[in-house]
Amino acid sequence: MSTSVPTEALDPSTPVIVGVGQASERLSDSGYQGLCEADLAARAVESAMADTGARVPSVAAEIDTVVGVRTFEESSPLSSSPLGRPDNMPRAVSKRIGMDPRRAVLGVTGGQSPQSLMTEFAGEIDAGRCSAAVVFGAEVMSTVRHLVSTVSDDERPDFTEEVGGQIDDRGYAIAGLTSHQEAKHGFLSPMMQYAVLENARRHRLGESRGRYARNMGELFAPMSRIAAGNPHSAAPVARSAEELVTVDESNRVVADPYTRLIVARDQVNQAAAVVIMSVGMARELGIDPSRWVFLHGHADTRERTLMQRPDLSTGPAAAAAVQHALEVAEVDLDEVEHLDIYSCFPIAVANVIDPLGLGGDDRRGLTLTGGLPFFGGPGNNYSMHAIAEAVDRCRSTPDSYALVVANGGVLSKTSAGVYSTRPTPWVTDDSAGVQELLDSVPAVQTRDYADGPATLESFTVIPGRDGKRTGIVIGRLGDDARFIANVHADDDPMFDLLATDHAIGSRIYVRSSARGNRVFTDRAAMLRRHPPSSPSFRTSYEHVEIRRDGHLLEVTINRPAARNALHPAANAELDEVFDAYFADSDLWVAILTGAGDVAFSAGNDLSQTAGTGLEVPKNGFAGLTSRRHLPKPVIAAVNGYALGGGCEIALACHIIVADERATFGLPEVKVGLAALAGGLVRLPAAVGGALARDMILTGRRLDAAEALGAGLISRIAPAGEVMNLARDVAAEVLAASPTSVRESLRAMETARAIPDEIDAIDSTANVVDTLLVSKDTIEGITAFVSKRPPRWTGR
């Protein structure tokens, strides 16, 4: 147990919690008012100030910092506020109470925020940068949904409010919580992601579906009984373990293995606030020391991104945060009397209690509020309510300890706090050192495009209201790389496998495409659905034109009205065309250009890819930018703008010739994107680092003359003559041995990846092995000796 310090001996800068408050309303309440977020938050803040025992105006006058927990309405770039909201929520709440704080702060996204912000601003007080702060959060999701669904547009209230003033908006801080692969496969909602982790844990424990479901019910049933007695609970109903996990019309499966009653309830109207200040300020305001609660220990850790975690069934960062917070507080877990462990899903609780040796039936209970499925999950702010309850418990049993464990993301971020009325000076934690140890464990390698035999690592199935199921599978390839995949909606054998007790660990088969990875029970099942076919040309295309002339193929992007920008359908056609070109032994050179005289290609057609922007062929834009090897020459005939993805397509080609009016550039940064289809790699190699950085970071464009001088292109054609120039270049290539051309391309690509010059030269020696047995080599030498033009066969 940590050593207690007499109150009078505390440094005046020591941070101390002096007031907590909560506010709530349910649609079914007789006095339901439909309060907006700012009004409900103001009630909680006023309650916290009154809880200090001092006069509310006196406390409000001394608050110099107001900190808001970010709401779900502004937690990501895709969030929205259907009824509007204040432009500065911390100051909107302050205005309602008559405060004019020096500083307003809006925290980052995540359920770890309440505890993390408490730790941060306790440290700010100790450092003398703040004397008194109020930290609050509120959600009115229930009210918003009710009004949007039941009230006509012209009768709905408008919660918009122009407040203005200084605000330190921390942003979302959600980078890494979702990857492009997760988005492509529809693996975005926390419920799906937690369900995958939950099934991985069930497999690790070796439990049947039925036994694991009972365990989840037994873990959460006691929480519902606590929620039943909490006046702020959104669902104050005590439920049995069996009731929680029994599937029926009112308790449907929302994501295997979860039923509706055991997942966080976000349709709530709840707010909570904490007043924290220096001991010196508390003394000035005459706040009774019996109401003071100290933050004895604290820690913040983060987990790797979901797809990189060594073990999907557990997240060690959470227990590490708890253990370190206890170390800072100098107390053992068995000395803690009050516990609140974030309970959005069962695994969030198990992930903490398993490594700490706690049981679901621990005498202390695992929640102070009633838990997120029953008390409610007010967005990012749940743990503020837990802190408020912890403060009340510590006051009611002086010298006892309370532990609050807050979780954000998908077991992604953990913030832990240890509270007590025992006076203590502020102690700084070493979360950075804990994080170093966590980060020292190697991450799992991932594979965007997965093909071949694999092992099923985890999964979830989401029933659709229309009867269609969504299957999400995480698997491992033979080299242990991890991938994410979907199940075809009508693939009954695969869904039947997932419904068994022992699906995880099964051998499966995966195939990739532009639309993502798909899994099957075996290769035969994959072939039945996707019979093998040889690449071939169609008689016509909707967005592409082709022309064959002997050994030459001319390909034209035919979307001039869109400046030949590419959408998914055009990309798919080009990918198909180049598959056929590389497979056709009678075609030796290809030219790629754009229709009209305005643009080669303006890149990705953003106007048509809002919903399917991630649907790019495995081989990249135009079927070229992500190919590991282009075995035959492709010449880019740039007849106008080559911007963004269009420039990246040209860079992927072996030779670029340009109309004198052509323009090259990578303007992605100007629209919040990046040149990720090869531009960030190929442009520096083509023009040098200095110019490439200038172009990439500013969006600077080069005209044809500048591009020639920089080495980006090899030749310039007079206006309107670029295809004639490209055909001349193609004729020069066709005059050479196609075998030698192909082997030279392959050797150059191999050597490019070798940094040592001599090693790179040595790597090209195996070209001789191919040329020695080539008919073209014999023909070339014979023709030279005979002083006649060679007759190449391409073999």
User: Which residues are marked as active site?
Assistant: 648, 668
Strands 168-169 and 103-106 turn out to be parallel
Where b means 16+ CB within 10 Å and e means fewer, 410-437 reads bbbbbbbbbbbbbbbbbeebebeebbee
Q: Are 306 and 193 in contact (CB under 8 A)?
A: yes
What is each CA distance from 527 to 356, 498, 522, 533, in whole angstroms?
48, 20, 9, 10
Where b means 16+ CB within 10 Å and e means fewer, 197-210 reads bbbbbbbeeeeebe
Please state whether 427 falls in left (phi above 0), alpha (psi between -120 and 50) or beta: beta
For residue 634, the cross-strand partners are 590
CB atoms within 10 A of CB 451: 16
Helices within 440-567 (DSSP H only): 492-498, 523-529
Assign 3-class secondary structure to 222-285. HHHHHHHCCCCCCCCCCCCHHHHHCCECCECEEECCEEHHHCCCCCCEEEEEEEEEEHHHHHHC
- Determine the Cα–Cα distance for residues 116 and 383; give it in Å rounded to an integer: 10
Which residue in 198, 215, 208 sits closest to 499, CA to CA?
208
Q: Are 62 and 276 in contact (CB under 8 A)?
A: no
Spatial neighbors of 273 by CB under 8 A, at least 6 apart, are 20, 21, 22, 41, 44, 45, 47, 48, 134, 135, 136, 137, 384, 388
Backbone angles phi, psi at 279, to 5 degrees: -60, -40
- Determine the Cα–Cα distance for residues 620 and 648; give it in Å rounded to an integer: 10
Q: Are 519 and 452 in contact (CB under 8 A)?
A: no
Give the CA radius of gyration of the chain.
32
Encoding tokens for residue 584?
């056709």
Angle in degrees, CA 409, 415, 418, rounded to 5: 150
Encoding tokens for residue 589?
């050179």
Report the Cα 450 to chain-centroid distance in Å: 20
Torsion of CA 559, 563, 565, 567, to 10 degrees: -40
DSSP state of 747: H
- Determine the Cα–Cα distance for residues 653 and 7; give it in Å rounded to an integer: 74
DSSP-derived secondary structure for 68-128: EPPPGGGSSTT---TT--BSSHHHHHHHHHT---SEEEE--SSTTHHHHHHHHHHHHHHTT
Encoding tokens for residue 361?
């039936």
Grouping H, G, I as helix, E, B as strand and the rest as coil, residue 349 is helix
Which element (helix H / strand E) includes 508?
A: strand 507-513
Q: Are 720 and 698 in contact (CB under 8 A)?
A: no
CB atoms within 10 A of CB 125: 24
Residue with tokens 């419920």: 191
Torsion of CA 639, 642, 646, 647, to 10 degrees: 120
